[in-house]
Amino acid sequence: MPLLEVDRLQTHFRTPDGVNRAVDGVSFSVDRGETLAVVGESGCGKSVTAMSIMRLIAEPPGKSAGEIRFEGRDLLKLPEREMRKIRGAAISMIFQEPMTSLNPVLKIGRQIGESMRLHQGLDRGQAEAKAVEMLTLVGIPEPKRRSGEYPHQLSGGMRQRVMIAMALACSPKLLIADEPTTALDVTIQAQILDLMRDLKVRVGAAILIITHDLGVVAEVADRVVVMYAGRKVEEAPVRQLFAKPRHPYTRGLLAAVPRLGSSLGGRPGRLAEIPGIVPSLKTKIEGCVFASRCPEVEEVCLRFAPALEAKAAGHLAACHHAVRGREEAA
């Protein structure tokens, strides 16, 4: 049985202009010890999916439906008291922006120790000592001194490491990382990715990583889910997805990745782009959600939504032309 099973998840928000279908029928699973990446451009519903799993969507205006089964228990049906026992202990999350996620008036050691005091019953001294151990684990120099400092005294890379230390403090079974390398320079990004790979082996946690960076996906993921306009359009093992993408949107994303050295030896070419804009999530789309931007669009795409079907072993795609794309790529 998978550690996490998300089945037909819908998270909608009621607004003055209508219902915003941020996540619209998304399903996937995460096995124990696996790293699953959820990929897509800004506004596709990646972060809302993560927040829905953590039950952090405010109701109202939001409302989640479907099933989110963690170790067989549907999280959406649990009372809030039971969910608090899981959140931060069995499931932890690294939020997108560490500076706004850390409390600016509390010292680092106290913030890391808070979850251990709550979930493991440690006293303040024990929790702060364990916090120093966690800072050592994530590679922060002079961990005892840093434990007594405030977030503004740390660099962006150190704050991100603190967020990882907080998330791993109670040895979670599932770690959700929402854009863990955003706003970090390339060197620090590489260090954070190396750290996550190392900790996955040492702690044994499954990882659900939310990102728009396909370089990050190639580095750390075992499988990939591609989202567009609130829906899942493709899912595959990472090597298979990069080698033979079946959905036009995935092919567009891969084509838009800058290539090292592409501007050398002559006139630099223009970066590839996906024309058009994402459709409004407040409008019910009858056909394929990508039809308005797809270079392969036909009448059937505008009238009927494609089913998410297996196009190869372990490879799902929601496209009327996915089989044709496979034949061309073969």
End-to-end CA distance of the chain: 34
The string of pLDDT tens digits covering residues 266-304 is: 556 677 788 888 888 888 888 899 998 998 888 899 989
Instruction: List, in sequence order, the alpha helices (H) in 11-170.
Output: 46-53, 80-86, 98-101, 108-120, 124-137, 143-147, 156-168
pLDDT at position 262, please?
A: 55
C-alpha torsion sign, points 272, 275, 281, 287:
negative
pLDDT tens digits for range 253-268 = 988 877 765 555 555 6
pLDDT bracket for residue 236 (50, 70, 90): very high
CATH superfamily of 4-221: P-loop containing nucleotide triphosphate hydrolases (3.40.50.300)
CA torsion 126→127→129→133, rounded to 10°? 130
Residues of the chain with CATH 3.40.50.300: 4-221
Which has more pLDDT, 322 or 107?
A: 107
Q: What's the average model confidence in pLDDT over 124-151?
A: 88
pTM of the model: 0.86
What pLDDT, on the 0 to 100 scale, is given for residue 324? 44
Cis peptide before 104 (omega within 30 of 0): no
Considering only residues 228 and 88, tell me which one the structure prediction assigns the higher pLDDT.
228
Sign of torsion, CA 181 182 183 185? positive
pLDDT higher than threshold 60 for residue 327: no
Residue 226, pLDDT score: 95
More confident residue, 150 or 213: 150
Nearest in space to 131 (alpha carbons), one of 118, 141, 121, 146: 146
CB within 8 A of 284, min separation 6: which ones?
A: 21
Q: Which amino acid is present at 325?
A: G
pLDDT at 261: 57
- Residue-averaged pLDDT of the chain: 85
pLDDT tens digit sequence for 27-83 = 999 998 899 999 988 888 899 999 999 999 988 889 999 999 999 999 999 999 999
Break the chain down into helix, strand, coil percent, rounded to 5.
Answer: 40, 25, 40
- Provide the CB-side half-sphere exposure for 278 (13 A, CA): 17
Of residues 218 and 224, more confidence is placed in 224
Over 90: is that where the pLDDT of 225 sits?
yes
Query: Residue 79: how many CB atoms within 10 A of its CB?
Result: 7
Tally the C-alpha atoms within 13 A of residue 145's C-alpha that lie toward its C-beta.
5
Mean per-residue pLDDT, 114-121: 84
Q: Across residues 109-137, what is the average pLDDT?
A: 86
